[in-house]
């Protein structure tokens, strides 16, 4: 499963992770890929793995 989001701050990102966790529960999977579009000039780009509520979110920030 792949989800795309536009970065609107850390609180918005946290709500997005909670939404993804609900999707994972619904589809009965443990891993999702998140592509985050961040238009801030001082953003940190890259890929990271996030453990969230017993699930794995692989997030790529571009």
Model pTM greater than 0.85? Answer: no
* Region class of 30: left (phi > 0), else alpha (psi between -120 and 50), else beta: alpha
Q: What is the pLDDT of residues 7-19, one digit of tens each?
A: 898 898 889 889 9
Residues 6+ apart with CB under 8 A from 4: 34, 35, 36, 37
Q: What is the pLDDT of residues 33-62, one digit of tens each?
A: 999 999 988 888 999 999 988 889 999 999
- What is the token pair recorded at 33? 């890929």
- What is the token pair recorded at 7? 């970065």
């Amino acid at each position: 499963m792949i989800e795309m989001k536009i970065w609107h701050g850390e609180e918005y990102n946290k709500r997005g992770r909670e939404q993804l966790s609900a999707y994972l529960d619904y589809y009965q999977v443990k891993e999702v890929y998140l592509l985050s579009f961040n238009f801030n000039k001082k953003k940190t780009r890259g890929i990271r793995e996030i453990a969230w509520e017993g699930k794995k979110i692989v997030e790529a920030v571009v």
